[in-house]
Amino acid sequence: MTENANLVPFRQASGDAPPPAVVLRRVGRRFASHDALADIDLAIHVGERVAILGASGAGKSTLLSLINGSLPATSGDVEVFGTRLAGLPLARLRPLQRRIGIISQRLDLVDQVRVLHNINGGRLGRWSSVRALAALAWPHADTAAIDALERVGLAWAVHERTELLSGGERQRVAIARLLLQEPELVLADEPVSSLDPTRAAGILELLCAPARPITLVVSLHQPELARQHCTRAVGLRAGRLVFDLPADRLDDRVLNDLYTLT
């Protein structure tokens, strides 16, 4: 099924309009002889909240890694905030990546240190080297850190060793780290997979309604959360984009087609 893959058209930057947060043009990613993604055309505008849906192995994590620049595309072009990623020197890629907040499927937390250390990691890039080193040696639970933990219901855990937390609590530590980073673009890979339904809805509300408008690209296995919290839903099937719809148009037919095993 192809449900109008370009329902949200590319917009040309004109006048003072900011460029789209993300543009992918005929993007592909091949691993050995396997196409994890092929022919992806997608433009995501500032302030949109886009859910990426698809069965396991469909290419959701690969797509987020391409947008973050941590994985190069093997064909096509990826642009983030108007900058083409292909061939970008690290010195230019890093500042771009500092504008992007990531919740990876692996969470990327350091288990052996306290929660405060992990969430401070979200803002080290904005601090001077001296301040960052001091924060690593003598972590200080300032108001912003406590506030971020409070927002995910974990203020009590600020001095806990991260490895002692449950899977869902660890997922919320990663979200608190992201809130502290104050990114312009959030790439969240199944950020609520370990959470109960109430907590999952609360966390998505947090991601969708931060203090200032952000762009959110979130992979989800729960279409109802996409309907409730996102403006747009993109479906991937075996590495191909099969729909691109306003989230409130996700219905059973679209979802059955997406998840039916071939």
Q: Which does 58 bind (CB under 5 to 8 A by kind): Mg ion, ligand ATP, none?
A: ligand ATP
**Least distance (Å) between residue 14 CB and ligand ATP:** 34
Contacting positions for Mg ion (CB under 5 A)? 60-61, 105
Q: How far apart are the first and last CA of the chain?
A: 13
Task: Give which of ligand ATP, Mg ion, none residue 120 binds (C-beta under 5 to 8 Å, depending on kind).
Answer: none
Select from 192, 231, 234, 202 the least CA-distant residue to 215. Answer: 231
In the numeric block, the tokens 């004109």 are attached to: 14
Nearer to Mg ion by Cβ, of 85 and 188: the residue is 188
Least Å from the CB of residue 30 to Mg ion:
17
Residue (of 213, 211, 215) closest to 232 by Cα position: 215
Please report where in the chains the tokens 């992990």 appear, as a residue.
118
Nearest residue to 185 (alpha-carbon basis) of 84, 59, 17, 46: 46
* CB-nearer residue toward ligand ATP: 36 or 145: 36
From the list Mg ion, ligand ATP, none, partner contacted by residue 36 (C-beta under 5 to 8 A by kind): ligand ATP
Joined together, the tokens standing for residue 245 give: 């719809």
- Compute CA 79 distance to the chain's CA centroid, rounded to the nearest angstrom: 16
59 binds, among ligand ATP, Mg ion, none (CB under 5 to 8 A by kind): ligand ATP
Min dist. Cβ of residue 107 to Mg ion (A): 13
How far apart are alpha carbons 73 and 225 in whole angstroms?
29
* Cβ distance to ligand ATP smaller for residue 36 or 154: 36
Least CB distance to ligand ATP at residue 70 (A): 11
Phi first, then psi, for residue 185 (nearest 5°) are -125, 125
31 binds, among Mg ion, ligand ATP, none (CB under 5 to 8 A by kind): ligand ATP
Q: List contacts with ligand ATP (CB under 6 A).
A: 31, 36, 54, 56-62, 105
Q: Which helix (H) or strand (E) holds 95?
A: helix 90-97
CB atoms < 10 A from the CB of 79, how many?
A: 18
Partner in contact with 57, chosen from Mg ion, ligand ATP, none, beta carbon below 5 to 8 Å by kind: ligand ATP
Of the two residues 65 and 215, which places its CB atom closer to Mg ion in the complex? Answer: 65
218 close to 49: Cβ distance less than 8 angstroms = yes
Strand boundaries in 89-153, DSSP class E: 100-103
Whichever of 60 and 237 has its CB closer to Mg ion, that residue is 60
The nearer residue to ligand ATP, 78 or 148, going by C-beta atoms, is: 78
Residue 189 CB, shortest distance to Mg ion, in Å, is 6
Question: With CB cut-offs between 5 and 8 Å by kind, which of ligand ATP, Mg ion, none does residue 127 bind?
Answer: none
Q: How far apart are CA 119 and CA 148, in angstroms?
A: 9
Question: Closest CB to Mg ion among 45 and 60?
Answer: 60
